[in-house]
Structures are given as structure tokens and as C-alpha cells.
Structure 1
């Protein structure tokens, strides 16, 4: 509603320039000329308002006015100006403001500026060739001022459109980033937890008859891991996932033991800066998941320094060297300014190394 009122106010302001040619027409002694002049001026105003209505619809739709419509409007206004000139003389020059404004609003920049420049010069140049006409510097300045105002409005509209497009792009990227974060967290959390659950459930199944008490403990671990996985999923949804290096190392030891893989893990991680422990925890989670799931290894070694962490095994080199898990880990490492290297050679084991400067 407010935009509609502004539109009509904007159109009405420009119609002020038609007062002089309309008054000049009305004062003509010839009734036929008077009627013809009023009709032409009325038609001129109708074309101008119709063009602005089309311009408004295009702006609301976020589209430019089709160039053919712009040329048609400019041509029609110019022809009507020429048609009324014999009746009212130099007063018709005031109508050139409308032609210039329409050109700036609807045509490409170069032809629009060319037309505007020519029209600004007309009130000064044409009277030199027409006897009895006075040079109208004031009218040239009025056309120039009108063009300047319209040019400023056009630039403002373009900037607003660019700003709106930028806001939309930022919102879209934020949604994509959040979707990727959730997918990465969900994969990393559930991939590890479900792998350990599967290994422990399989172990419990083998121990049911051989060692019922140990099987019962493994089933208890499965229940605990399932509940922890549920908490992790809720944390991922809320965006508050926290991973601690020490806790991940303890979990890695349990997962490797359940899988029958010897674990060679560091006992102390105090030398690792606090800012890097979460990232290194993600590395342990992803690396050990790959070892348990893919390697067929007998031994897994994790080496940690203040700036580097390495997860390696002596398996067949079948650890996943690509996929969503390592891709997500790579995103985390890149965000921390670090580097990730993966070595997976058949028969020589699998190595995952992350270094943060």
C-alpha cells in the first residue's frame, strides 16, 4: 500500500511539468487548436502514467522493463511533443523532461544517457534555428536536474536490488552451511557409535554361551553406547556437539578391544593445546572408525604431538581413503587452518595424519 502511494506521488510530481504547455494550449484563440492541444497533452500524460505503471509492475516482480516497451514509450512521448509544438511553440520544450526521464528509466545506459544529453541541449540549440524562440537555459537546467534526480533514484534501486540479492545469497549459503554441518556431525557421530555397537553386539553374540557374564557386560556397553548416540544426535540437532580428545581416546580403546585389535594409544594428552583437542578428538573418532570397519588390522597406533595427530594400522590398506567421513573431517581441518593427509596402500596399512600449524 505504501509503495502504491509513493508511485502515484512520484508520477504526480513529474506531471507538474505539463502545466505550462497545457496553459499555453488553453489560451489559444483557435478552438480547434485548443481542443487538439488539450487532447495531445492528455494523451501525453496518459502514456507517461501508463509507462510508470508498467515500470512499477516490473519493479515489484524484480524484472527490468522490456526494452521494446521502453523504446515505444520514448518514441510516443517524443512524437506527441513534436505534434503539439506547432500549436504552442517553445512551451512544448518543457515536455522533453518526460522523454528524458522515460529514457533513463527504461533504456540501456548508453542510449539513455545519449538521449538525455541531446534533450538537455535542445532548449538552447533549437531556438538558435527558430525565429522568435528564446534560448531557455532554465529549461535545460530543469531537464538536467530531472535527469540527475532520476539517475540517483535508479542507482538507489539498483543498490537495493543488489543488497537484497546479497542477503538472499547469504541466507542460502547459511542454510547450506548448516545442512552440511548437521550432515557432517551426524555422520561422524553415528558412524563411530554404530560401528562400535555393531562390533560389541557381534562380540556379545559369540560370548553368550562361552562367557555369559562378559556377554552381559558387552550388552550393557551396547545399551550405553546407544543412549550416548541418542544424546549425540540431540546435541547435533541443537548445534552443541562437543568432542573431547581424552574421551575419544578412551572410546577408541574400548572399540579396538571389542574388535580384537591391539591398541597403542597415548596415555597423556596434556601437551596438546586446548584449542586443538576437539579437532584431534574428531580425528581419533574418524580414524578408529575406519580401522575397525575397513582395515582388518591386528594393531592400531595413535600418535599425538602438540601440533599433529596420526592414526595408523597394520591392516591390508583397505581403510576408506575417501567418503563423507573423511570429507567432513577435511572441512574441520581446513577451518582450523591445518592439513590432512591419508595414506592407504594395500598390504602396508592405513594412515591418517592431521597437522595444525
Structure 2
């Protein structure tokens, strides 16, 4: 079974904010019952106090249900719960009027007046605050708060409340409901902002992947465009020569065959990533893309002096790892380090997004494609590194950190060149 810790760590940042917001407002219902419901039962007695507590519990339950549906509406999962909002308003008014009637016409005693007055004020405050969570704009929120406060003052007169008491009740409801309404509006704004930021981050990640695909497309176009044009021209020339019975047609077709074979070799180079890539450029690009996506990225070490084939292999490791940090997990920090030690170059990519990712693609794991493919994923990276006798290790470090380590041996001449 998944424990509470794994359940929480398995959520994304927007889901965590939504869960915190949802249960914070649900806790308000518990506060309502604990503050006035239990106190009413204790001060008035089990008979009338029990009925007051039952009314408070019903009101708190309707508030909790309204909050849940309103947050689903805020997150775009359901329509605005208009009927439930009106139901909560009616229940709030009924409970408040009942409490005020008990204070005026119920048993005499300071305890009864205090308990009924507490129920009257608290249900209006929490009712207005809960309704504000499901209202679309601020003007309507102001109208809800002002309406509940005015209603608290106006209802008090027909039931015999003095004017100062009615005014104090209206001001209390205005301040209390205004505070809860402000909390609701701010919570909704924060929740929407977090979801929009997460969506923007995903968009940047998709753009980074799309840019990589465009770069691959440009490379493939550069390789195939010119060669196909030459093949088409020489084939047309060979056809014309063959129709005229000229022996040069054979030479042209031999040239077409040579160009076609050369094109096949160059396409394989592009697809398998054997074309040289600059490690320094990839390190700078990784830092820029991750920083733009809101991930703190630290790059240490330099690629200067490394052999071209080593730089090309490690550059693809950086490119693949960066793509997967963006696409998988929920990383907030990524560290990329290059160092030369004991006759080998070591590239380390470490991020803290393993906790929020699935086991199959945590952090910088090979999640962009299946590992069985020859062009991407961990298997593809190992193939590239194997060409320079390198190795690749990928594993979790603790519960939240994923580390990818690529090592490539260097010759003595290479080590001396790097040292210089």
C-alpha cells in the first residue's frame, strides 16, 4: 500500500496546491462545528442545544459540499454549481433566522442568548465565505458579502433586537465574511496561477522537444535535399543519353548509384547521431532551456580540449537528459557537471524530480522513447557511448533525486591536451 508520504510526493505541484486549498476550506466546516455547535450544545443543554448543533452540522456539511464543487468548477472539471450556491444561501438564511428566533423567543438565560447569537453570526460568515468561492467575479463577491451583512442587520429588527446590537451584528458579519471571501478569492487566484504556470512549463518543454525535432529535420533536409536533386538531374540526363544510344548513360547511372549509397550513409549518420555535436553548445543550451522552464540549472566544468568524438557522444547525453528532465518528473533543480579524472571524462546529470515521476521515466531517465530503439532513450545513449568505449549509469539517489553518469576513457595524449 502507498503511505501518506508517497501519496503526497506522487502529486504534482499544482495538485498539491489544490489539495491543500481544498482541505483548508473543508477544515473551516470543522471549525464551524467545533466553535459554535459544541458550545451551543454545552451551554443550552442537550435538548435545544442538540437541535442548534444539528443545524450547524447541516450547514457545515452543505458548506463543505459547496466548496468541493466550487473548486472543481475553478479547475474546469464541472459547471458552476449555481443550484448548490442558492441552496447554501437558503440554508444559511434559515439557520440564522432560527438561531435569532431562539435568542428572542426561546428560554431565558445568558447562555441561550450567547449560543444562539454565536450560531447566527458564524453561519452567516462561513456561508458568505463558501459562496464567494463559487462566484465568478469580484463585484459579485462584494455583493454577497454586503448582502449577508445587510441581511444580518435587517433581520434583527423584526425580531426585537435593539439598533446598536443589529449594527454590531451587521459589522461583525461584514468583517468576518469579508475576510473569508478575501481568502477564497486569493486561494482561487493562486490555484489558477499555479495551474497556468504548470501549463506554461509544459508548453516550453514541448517547444524544446519540437525545436529538437526541427533541428533533426533541418539536418536531414541538408543531407537529402541536395543529393536527391542531383540524383534527379543525373537520372534525367541518363534517360536522354540512353534514348540517343550514347554510352555515357552508363556512367551517369553509376554516378547516381554512388550518390544514392552516399545518401544512405549520411542518413544513417543523422539518425544514429554520429554527426559531430559540440558539448559546450549543448551545455549552454541545456542551462538556457531549463532556466526558461523554471528549473534552477547549474553547469560546472568545461568541454574544451576533449576529442571531437567524445564531445559528440556526451553532447547527445546532455541533450537527451535535458529533454527528459523537461518532459518527466517535477524537477526544481538540475546540476550538470563535466570533469576529467584518472584518465577519463565523467559527465553527471542530477535532478530532484524523481519523486514526482513514474518509475519508467523518472527525472532524466530514458522516457522520450522506448529503450529498445536505436536512436533515443538509455539504449540509444549507451550505443553512442559504446562507440567511444564509454559507459552509462542511471539510478535514483534517495527518494527524490535521479542521477545519470556517463564515463568515457581518454588516451594519454587526450589527457595531456585537456590539461594544456
TM-score of the aligned structures, taking structure 1 as reference length: 0.53
Q: State the shift of 1:105 in Å.
A: 0.9
Aligned residue number for residue 159 of structure 1? 193
Report the CA distance shift for 1:165/1:68 in structure 2 as closer, same or farther (over 3 A).
farther
The correspondence of residues 93-172 of structure 1 with structure 2, limited to 5 A, is 93-109=121-137, 110-120=139-149, 130-131=160-161, 133=165, 135-136=168-169, 137=171, 140-171=174-205
Confirm or deny that 1:235 pairs with 2:270: yes
The alpha-carbon distance between structure 1 residues 52 and 103, as it changes in their structure 2 partners (threshold 3 A), is closer
Instruction: Tell me if the contact between 1:18 and 1:95 (Cα under 8 Å) persists in the aligned partners.
Output: no
Which structure is higher in helix share? 1
The CA deviation at 1:207 is: 5.7
CA 1:234–1:55 in structure 2 vs 1: closer, same or farther (change >3 Å)?
farther
Residue in structure 2 matched with residue 200 of structure 1 by the alignment: 234
> After the TM superposition, which residues 10-29 of structure 1 pair with which residues of structure 2 at under 5 Å, given as runs?
10-27=25-42, 29=44
Q: Is the 8 A contact 1:123 1:139 kept in 2?
A: yes
Structure 2 CA distance for partners of 1:176 and 1:9, relative to 1, 3 Å? same
Judge conservation of contact 1:201–1:218 (CA < 8 Å) in 2.
yes
Once residues 238 and 193 of structure 1 are traced to their aligned partners in structure 2, the CA distance between those partners, rounded to angstroms, is: 20
Q: Deviations over 1:287-341 (max 9, x none)?
A: xxxxxxxxxxxxxxxxxxxxxxxxxxxxxxxxxxxxxxxxxxxxxxxxxxxxxxx
Q: Which contiguous aligned blocks of 4+ residues in structure 1 show a shift greater than 6 angstroms?
A: 239-242
Partner of 1:40: 55
Equivalence map 1:34-113=2 (5 Å): 34-58=49-73, 62-63=77-78, 65-87=80-102, 88-91=115-118, 92-109=120-137, 110-113=139-142
SS at match of 2:84: helix
* Aligned-pair CA distance for 1:63: 4.8
CA contact (8 A) 1:124 1:140 kept: no
Going from structure 1 to structure 2, the CA distance change for 1:95 and 1:74 (only over 3 Å counts) comes to same
1:5/1:157 CA distance change after superposition, 3 Å: closer
Q: Is the 8 A contact 2:25 2:67 kept in 1?
A: no
Residues 67 and 100 of structure 1, relative CA distance in 2, 3 Å threshold: same
Contact kept in structure 2, 1:17 and 1:94, CA below 8 Å: yes
Unpaired segments ≥5 residues, structure 1: 243-357
Q: Which residue of the partner structure matches residue 211 of structure 1?
A: 247
TM-score by length of 2: 0.46
Q: Distance in 1 between matches of 2:274 and 2:72?
A: 42
- Residues 39-72 of structure 1: CA distance to partner in whole angstroms, max 9, x if unpaired? 2111112112222333455566655643333333
Q: Which residue of 1 aligns with 2:320?
A: none
Tell me if structure 2 keeps the 8 A contact 1:26–1:38: yes
Change (3 A) 1:83 1:22: same
Deviation at 1:102, TM superposition (A): 1.6
Q: Relative to 1, partners in 2 of residues 1:11 and 1:177: Cα closer, same or farther, differing over 3 Å?
A: same
Contact kept, 8 Å, 2:237 with 2:252, in 1: the verdict is no
Aligned residues: 241
- Rounded to whole Å, the distance in 2 between the matches of 1:68 and 1:231 is 66
Q: Tell me: CA distance 1:113–1:177, structure 2 relative to 1, closer, same or farther (3 Å).
A: farther
Deviation (angstroms), 1:156: 0.7
Task: Identify the range of structure 1 (159-168 vs 98-107) with the bigger mean alpha-carbon deviation.
Answer: 159-168
Which one has more relative contact order, counting CA pairs under 8 Å at least 6 apart? 2
Coordinate RMSD, CA, aligned: 4.1
Preserved contact between residue 232 and residue 241 of structure 1 (Cα < 8 Å): no
Structure 1 residue 98: Cα displacement: 1.6
